[in-house]
């Protein structure tokens, strides 16, 4: 297990719960309060492990989490917490989602989506 650096003045801690697997990525993360006082923590994220065509859907995708944060920032921007920093972060997250979807569309067009094929 290792802890990820998030930034200054954080009240939470993100722990990587597994070792990198095929493709070099980890698949399980836990979010805790920084003092570890909340039993069980705030959340557990389990990402898809292995190709969907071979393993079925067994976890979420990074796009799922990006969509959640985009929605949250859009809500802030529509309310009292609108600011330049939120707008910039929102733009970058929308761009990240665009490129991940572009990659998926390319893989679908080549017939390799859901496999380990490049």
CA distances from 104 to 86, 98, 112 (A): 27, 10, 9
Residue 39 is given by DSSP the state T
Q: Given the structure tokens 């070099």, which residue do they identify? A: 24
- Residue 60: φ, ψ to 5°: -85, 175
Q: What is the largest CA-CA distance in the chain?
A: 48
* Residue 110, pLDDT score: 94
Helix (H, G, I), strand (E, B) or coil at 88: helix
Model pTM?
0.88
Percent of the chain with pLDDT over 70: 99
Six-digit token string for 72: 């949250």
Q: Identify the band that residue 14 occupies on the pLDDT scale cut at 50, 70 and 90.
A: very high
pLDDT at residue 6 above 90?
Answer: no
CA distances from 80 to 72, 74, 77, 94, 109 (A): 13, 12, 7, 21, 43
Return d(Cα 96, Cα 10) in angstroms, integer: 24
Nearest residue to 73 (alpha-carbon basis) of 94, 53, 57, 58: 94
Mean pLDDT, the chain, integer: 93
The domain limits of the chain are: 1-60, 61-110
The pLDDT of 72-92, averaged and rounded, is 97
**Digit-coded pLDDT (tens) for 27-69:** 999 999 988 888 888 999 999 999 998 999 999 999 999 999 9
């Amino acid at each position: 297990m290792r802890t990820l650096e998030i930034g200054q003045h954080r009240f939470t801690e993100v722990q990587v719960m597994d070792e990198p697997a095929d493709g070099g990525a980890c698949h399980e993360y836990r979010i805790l309060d920084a003092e570890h006082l909340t039993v069980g923590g705030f959340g557990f994220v389990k990402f898809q492990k292995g190709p969907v065509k071979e393993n079925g859907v067994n976890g979420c995708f990074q796009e799922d989490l990006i969509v959640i944060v985009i929605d949250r920032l859009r809500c802030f921007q529509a309310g009292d917490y609108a600011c330049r920093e939120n707008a910039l972060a929102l733009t970058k997250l929308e761009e990240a989602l665009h490129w991940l979807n572009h990659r998926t569309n390319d893989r679908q067009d080549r017939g390799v989506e859901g496999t380990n094929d490049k």
